[in-house]
Structure 1
Amino acid sequence: MFAPVLLAALAGGCVTTPNGGPRTTQASRSPQMQQAQALAVGAAAQAGPARKAQDEQIDRLLAQLDNATLARDTAALPQGDPLYNHAGRALLLRGLPLPRPFDRSAWKFDAGNRPAADRDGYRPPVRLAVLLPLSGSLATAAAPVRDGLLAGYFAETRAKPEVQFYDTATGVTAAYERAVAEGNDFVIGPLGRDEVTTVFSRPSLPVPVLALNRGDVPPPAGNASFSLTPEDEGVAAAEWLLARKATRVLVVGGEDDSQRRATLALRERLGERGAVVVDVVGSATTDYASHAQKGVDGMFLAIRGPAARAVMARFSLAGLTGKPVVATSQLLSGTGNAAEDAALDGIAFPAETWSTQGIHGLPSATAAAALLPSAQGPAARLFAFGHDAWQLTAYLERLASSADGRIQGATGTLRIDGFGNVQRTPAWSTFRGGIVVPL
């Protein structure tokens, strides 16, 4: 963990505190941090679109800082400073440690009705409600989430809560109110983006919620949001490229909604960090030589496996061999033949820890797929997601209150930022000899 005193001393411009230790003065902090701090003070009194605009401006300022400066200036922020949660989130997105726990003065999560936590932080609810679309058009997506949650639940040998499922297909408001009336002390769900917005827009949430998607409004204090979004993959890919000094990136993108959203998030993140997307082209492009001549030093693929195999061959012809290449998880779609997939060797992509390394408490992804249709193919990702929803619920208090609070979930390493958003660091994987292996 970064030590605040050490970081401040290394930064220069230090004064001596009453206990004899150095600290960073306001004047010695970066201009971006000072601007962001002023904005954070004003944003604390705002809500709605105005607050969102201020938060985005703060994030853009923090994104301009290199890792060392961001860590130093974050550690120097005093307890209770409204900027700390923003800066801490920026650290998590880069895989950097927090200097101290997030400031949660408005965190209303109350676990007082539960037995004391075990040494590892395990402290599940007493009665757990799960809000999912068990019927209707979203039921197919909900089934692997439900089964993954139950797999994690039944794998736990310690005391567990009573679990009750509520169908949101006939109305998420009614489902939540019924869960509250029936005495549940924690809620997992809902799953749909609009449903999450509806729940988080309520005047009050008497029972705290772990939503399974991002809504159009942030989680109210004491509530949390967990999702697997294309935007998260785009941001993660941008950070992966930046960590490898790639600042001029060529994007090969597809046309579906997920691919476009991942590409937009990557472009925005690179722009915030001073890098650029040189070009965005489709997978049907046959000659990349003209793009390579623009000083490309990294590539991003938002396409499926079969298209990526052809693109990698064309990269080689254009002289782009040896440069870092990162893709979205859609790279796995259409793969499975090692002889053909050898063309994908070396591409980094976000994968689930469960599928590449396995995790305690779950059978291997291969074994689970042989037993359950809901753990097969693309559904396996949602199965892992459901498993992690249970883990987050059981360890929420520890995650929320510790500077190093994290769990090694089926979808990756999970932490919760100061605004209640679960931050996921994926288990990066690659192809080697046409076989998927951990990176």
Structure 2
Amino acid sequence: MTPSIKPTFHALSLLLVAFVLAGCAVQQPRSTPGPQPTQSNNPQMAAAQGDYERAANLYMQASTRTSDPAQRQRLRLQAGLAAAQAGNASMAQQILASIQPSTLGDMDRSRYELARREISIDGLTPDQALAQLPPPNSGVPPAIAELVWEKRAQLHFAQNALIAGIGDLVQRGVWLVDETALSANDERIYAKALDSIAYGQGPESRPAGNADDTTRGWLALADIGQRQWASRDQRDQALAAWEQRYPGHPATRSILRDRFDYTPATQPAATGQPGQFPQQGPAPRPSSDTVALALPLTGKFANAAEAIRDGFLFAYGNTRTNAPQPLIYDSNTLTPAAILDQAQRDGVGILVGPLDKPKVAEIGRLPSDIPEVALNYTDTQNNRPGFYQFALAPEDEAAAVARHASERGYARALALVPKGDWGSRVFDAFRSRFNADGGQVVNYATYDAGDRDYRGPIQSVLSGYQQGQGADFIFVAARPLQARLIRSQLRFYRASNLPMLSTSHAYTGTVNAGDDIDLNGVGFADMPWVVGSGDFLETRRNEARQQYGDVAEHYSRLFAMGMDAWKLTDNIAKEGLSSGDVFEGMTGVLALQPDGRVTRYLAWAVFRSGRPQLVQMPSESDARIDSTQSVPWEQR
């Protein structure tokens, strides 16, 4: 699965590790200048070219030459991550064993976590490893996201899935900010595209049918490059036709000039971190008052889709509107292009959906003048005007926990989250927001959600707390069963006085005082529809139960998502949506960001006698303050 490490590199690396861990590095005299960076001794250049073996070696060499302990640790961490990227899990493990993660800053902690994750997938098959290393979400720092895409590309190439690997490198390019690294990435993509053509995987092949347009553009360019042309004019005509077919393609940055000596007529599309750039141009206005809702009403997401649909229709029925009954499409039987085609034929003014992330990503890439409320987030930047993304993102809840803790005056936190992508996303969002508010996560640990005994991770996360280092609370991301067990085991380890804060995932959404008595005192963020009180909410919830029965009762959060999807739709129809818009919804206070994403601000509740009790409803002022301060996505 992983690239082999040359024996000489491996032996030298282990020797360097031994010297560093033993504290035997010889300091260079301050008056003697170090070697000047060149192509052969610069680890950043080696990493940019994809030579992580050499980068790890060079980082370790550099760590032996510095007298600054902090810089030495930083270089060792970079070496460990480079070794993990190269597939040398044993070297990476030895290096990371010498580093205390609680002493690392945010970015270095993210590097450490990525290296640990890559070590954990060593020895798995490429398919298994890819499942354990999913695409990065929008809140991941670019320097980490590009490494994840790089590793995924390696894994795809290891199983000869060349087009999938090229697609990973294309996504990596979105996150690169260094021009040298970006140019090297383009060169690698083009070289792999030539390999793909040689193996019969061209732009018209079956694997290319699942690729994005940019990846197909690379394959089409490589197809031109490998052909024998009767004259340069013929080749240049083919390049001109290619450029018309793929305007602003990344290959116009340098590949056309360097590989073909051809001057492009267009400029490459801008790259950057998703969740950061505003939509370009004014949003289209609805061409009619007809609304279509596209959901996977068959297949594995049918129950979720049904709850969202019912909530959508319930809210529509409670709104004074001239809009006709919404049209319903089964997105499980339609491609994204077919959904848009059907909407055009039906004269749809606003499209809502789809729900599953791959189809959301694909439909977001298709040209359309229909305003759309997608019911999930994409993992890459999308600046199409009028393309809005609404989801029940756990990052919003983690940020709400951090915000509540800061309002309580808490400054030092412990954190316990499940292993895997979901836990990493929640932890990153919590830590980023808590740090932005002036707090500090002093220690954290991960647990296996499939276990029932969490002694190891609990003892680990409490070690500093029990030794007098102090913490104001512990943030626990867990499902109800795990949350109850963790709460009980925290009491066993004499941490019963340590406040435990969590996301809505700790609560099923249905009152169960007998089981949830173990969660007494635990505070959590949740949506107003679930924990809110008052005559209006009580009346609406009773009406929903009477009309939709078990769906409204047992899928209450998805039902509320459907209600807010209608609210967004109704606002588009009446006034349109603009960046900075804030309004109350059933899933929280909704705030529209410049990139078209809708973020949520949650209510706060606490368990008393096994029952959730509302403490505070979400505030529109919080959303407006964040909007005026332009808080980045990863810190919301």
1:352 aligns with 2:527: yes
Of 277, 280, 300, the match for 2:445: 280
Q: Which amino acid aligns with 2:516?
A: D
CA 210–53 in structure 1, closer or farther in 2 if over 3 Å, else same: farther
Q: After alignment, is 426-435 or 415-424 more displaced?
A: 426-435
Of 269, 273, 290, the match for 2:463: 290
In structure 2, the residue matched to 1:215 is 378
- Match of 1:249, SS state, is strand
| Paired residues of 2:398 and 2:429 also in contact (CA < 8 A) | yes
CA 156–367 in structure 1, closer or farther in 2 if over 3 Å, else same: closer
CA 352–49 in structure 1, closer or farther in 2 if over 3 Å, else same: same
Deviation at 1:168, TM superposition (A): 1.4
For 1:431 and 1:267, locate their aligned partners in 2 and report how far apart those are by CA, in whole Å: 24
Deviation at 1:208, TM superposition (A): 1.4
For 1:53 and 1:271, locate their aligned partners in 2 and report how far apart those are by CA, in whole Å: 25
Deviation at 1:434, TM superposition (A): 1.8
In structure 2, the residue matched to 1:427 is 603
In structure 2, the residue matched to 1:200 is 364
In structure 2, the residue matched to 1:4 is none
| Paired residues of 1:214 and 1:227 also in contact (CA < 8 A) | yes
Correspondence 1:335-350 to 2 at 5 A: 336-350=511-525
Q: Which amino acid aligns with 2:396?
A: D
| Paired residues of 1:166 and 1:179 also in contact (CA < 8 A) | no
| Paired residues of 2:509 and 2:556 also in contact (CA < 8 A) | no
Of 604, 607, 612, the match for 1:436: 612
| Paired residues of 1:352 and 1:412 also in contact (CA < 8 A) | yes
For 1:410 and 1:180, locate their aligned partners in 2 and report how far apart those are by CA, in whole Å: 30
| Paired residues of 1:298 and 1:323 also in contact (CA < 8 A) | yes
After superposition, give the CA deviation of every residue in 1:2-47 in whole Å (9 maximum; x if it has no partner): xxxxxxxxxxxxxxxxxxxxxxxxxxxxxxxxxxxxxxxxxxxxx9
Q: Which amino acid aligns with 1:411?
A: T
TM-score under structure 2 normalisation? 0.47
| Paired residues of 1:234 and 1:328 also in contact (CA < 8 A) | yes
Deviation at 1:361, TM superposition (A): 8.0
For 2:491 and 2:285, locate their aligned partners in 1 and report how far apart those are by CA, in whole Å: 56
After superposition, give the CA deviation of every residue in 1:290-323 in whole Å (9 maximum; x if it has no partner): 2423422221111233433343344345554554
For 1:314 and 1:134, locate their aligned partners in 2 and report how far apart those are by CA, in whole Å: 41
Of 293, 296, 300, the match for 1:130: 293
After superposition, give the CA deviation of every residue in 1:209-242 in whole Å (9 maximum; x if it has no partner): 1100001233422221000122332333233333
Q: Which amino acid aligns with 1:354?
A: W
Correspondence 1:99-118 to 2 at 5 A: 106-111=281-286
Of 367, 372, 391, the match for 2:549: 372
Q: Which amino acid aligns with 1:246?
A: Y
After superposition, give the CA deviation of every residue in 1:92-148 in whole Å (9 maximum; x if it has no partner): xxxxxxxxxx9877232325x5xxxxxxxxxxx611111111222322221101011
In structure 1, the residue matched to 2:352 is 188
Q: Which amino acid aligns with 2:331?
A: T
- Match of 2:360, SS state, is helix
Deviation at 1:422, TM superposition (A): 0.5
Correspondence 1:263-342 to 2 at 5 A: 263-270=427-434, 275-276=440-441, 278-282=443-447, 284-286=453-455, 288=459, 290-292=463-465, 293=467, 294-316=469-491, 318=493, 320-333=495-508, 336-342=511-517
1:227 aligns with 2:402: no
Q: Greater relative contact order: 1 or 2 (C-alpha under 8 angstroms, separation 6 or more)?
A: 1
1:144 aligns with 2:307: yes
After superposition, give the CA deviation of every residue in 1:298-355 in whole Å (9 maximum; x if it has no partner): 2111123343334334434555455443212121139744255333233222222112
CA 51–246 in structure 1, closer or farther in 2 if over 3 Å, else same: farther
| Paired residues of 1:406 and 1:414 also in contact (CA < 8 A) | yes
* Greater fraction of residues in helix: 2
In structure 2, the residue matched to 1:118 is none
For 2:484 and 2:372, locate their aligned partners in 1 and report how far apart those are by CA, in whole Å: 42
Of 387, 393, 414, the match for 2:590: 414
Q: After alignment, is 416-425 or 164-173 more displaced?
A: 164-173
Of 310, 319, 330, the match for 1:167: 330
For 2:560 and 2:606, locate their aligned partners in 1 and report how far apart those are by CA, in whole Å: 19
| Paired residues of 2:314 and 2:544 also in contact (CA < 8 A) | no
Deviation at 1:373, TM superposition (A): 2.5
Deviation at 1:183, TM superposition (A): 0.9
1:154 aligns with 2:329: no
Residue segments in structure 2 that go unaligned for 5+ positions in a row: 1-169, 178-272, 616-636
Deviation at 1:268, TM superposition (A): 4.6
For 1:239 and 1:215, locate their aligned partners in 2 and report how far apart those are by CA, in whole Å: 25
Q: Which amino acid aligns with 2:453?
A: A
After superposition, give the CA deviation of every residue in 1:63-94 in whole Å (9 maximum; x if it has no partner): xxxxxxxxxxxxxxxxxxxxxxx9xx99xxxx
Q: Which amino acid aligns with 1:276?
A: V
Deviation at 1:271, TM superposition (A): 5.4
For 1:303 and 1:226, locate their aligned partners in 2 and report how far apart those are by CA, in whole Å: 23
Identity of matched residues, %: 29
Residue segments in structure 1 that go unaligned for 5+ positions in a row: 1-46, 55-85, 91-101, 114-124
For 1:136 and 1:343, locate their aligned partners in 2 and report how far apart those are by CA, in whole Å: 36
- Match of 2:577, SS state, is helix
For 2:576 and 2:283, locate their aligned partners in 1 and report how far apart those are by CA, in whole Å: 14
The structure whose Rg is larger is: 2
Q: After alignment, is 179-188 or 275-284 more displaced?
A: 275-284
In structure 1, the residue matched to 2:95 is none
CA 399–285 in structure 1, closer or farther in 2 if over 3 Å, else same: farther
CA 53–412 in structure 1, closer or farther in 2 if over 3 Å, else same: farther
